[in-house]
Amino acid sequence: MMKHIRYVFVRTLPVLFAFLFLGIAFGLLLQRAGYNFVWALLISTFVYAGSMQFVLVPFLGSGINLFTVILMTLSINCRHIFYGLSFIRKFKGMGKLYPYMIFSLTDETYSLLCSTKIPEELDENKVTFGIALFNHIYWIAGSVTGSLLGQFITFDTTGIEFAMTALFVVIFIEQWMSVRTHLPAIAGLLCGTAALLIFGAGSFILPALIASIVIILASKNIVQAKEGALK
Amino acid sequence: MNFAYDAGIVITVAVCTFLTRLFPFALFGRTQQPHPLVLYIGKILPSAVIAVLIIYCLKTVQFTSLPGYAPQFLGIAIVAALHVWKRNYLLSIGVGTVCYMFMVQMVF
């Protein structure tokens, strides 16, 4: 058991740093919005989706309609479809852990599971489950720490909300560099800007998402010609 | 603040997030692949959505005065430059956020 824990801990160290850092930023934001560590604990335990949790913060207390929430969550997280495809067989063989493995398949857990060659002497299922569980715990620990920091240590946190902008800029650059066609990214920027100008800050996100989806569907042939066949 | 509505939002996000993760497991077996259109949306849509989210973060920008837009755009420039240079998530986000906080608290 100990050697499994040690192996999983070493493998997940990079995620530990990333999740503590981002989790703390999330907890601080949530605290600033007026929601204490209980919210941080519950959201990070049961939602457990980095970018989406940042998007969720300004939703709270805003009276946003649930349809917008649903469309945003589905479009931000639709990338998960790909993650699951690679692990259908493996997770199905994990018995009682199967539902948890599906639930906890975040970007980071996915990339660790893809890149980890589990040593012969270790139990594959234990290591797979361990990686998923440890990452989840890091994320919860970071979020709760952040909200407690915000609650008990008084320093000026004005501007901490920029962590969300910075996170999206970083993801945007990573995606930009990983694909050949930038049409979807540019479409998103244009649709977002146009919708903001037309509908105003309060209600532009839904039309912006719908317009992006329409453009992406309409330009399927162009995008696929440039991107090549989907794997 | 409306507790029940906030709880409803959190539950909605939790359920929808789980559904996107459950989707491939629930619908496809070892050999059967999803419809190509589903794969296409899953692969291409996130780049557009992230772009929309950046605009979403900038929705309160005001071009009428310097403090209304300079910190945001300088902050983004710092994050982007650092990230293109080092490709280190924590460095780009951490330094960018601290610079932004410094700008809104001390400079502008």
| Single-letter amino acid, residue B19 | L
Residue ranges of domains in chain B? 1-57, 59-108
Q: Is B61 on the interface with A (CB under 8 A)?
A: no
Structure-block tokens of residue A196: 């903001």
Which residue in B9, B60, B53 sits closest to A75, CA to CA? B53
B86–chain A nearest CA distance, Å: 11
Q: Which residue on chain B is closest to A79 by alpha carbon?
A: B42
Type and span of the H or E element at A175? helix A162-178
Q: Is A225 on the interface with B (CB under 8 A)?
A: no
Contact check, Cβ <8 Å, B92/A17? no
B85–chain A nearest CA distance, Å: 11
Q: Is A195 helix (H, G, I), strand (E, B) or coil?
A: helix
Q: At what angle are helices A183-199 and A220-227 packed, to 10 degrees?
A: 150
Q: Is B49 helix (H, G, I), strand (E, B) or coil?
A: helix
**CA–CA gap between residue A25 and residue A33 (Å, rounded):** 12
**CA–CA gap between residue B13 and residue A157 (Å, rounded):** 26
Reported pTM: 0.86
Model ipTM value:
0.90
Q: Summarize pLDDT for B43-78 with one digit per residue, the tens.
A: 888 889 889 989 989 988 999 999 899 999 999 999
**CA–CA gap between residue A110 and residue A132 (Å, rounded):** 9
Q: Summarize pLDDT for A138-177 with one digit per residue, the tens.
A: 999 999 999 999 888 777 888 888 988 998 899 899 989 9
Q: Is B13 on the interface with A (CB under 8 A)?
A: yes
Contact check, Cβ <8 Å, A78/B46? yes
Q: Summarize pLDDT for A93-134 with one digit per residue, the tens.
A: 899 999 999 999 998 898 889 888 888 899 999 999 999 999
The minimal CB distance from A173 to the residues B24, B84, B90 is found for B84
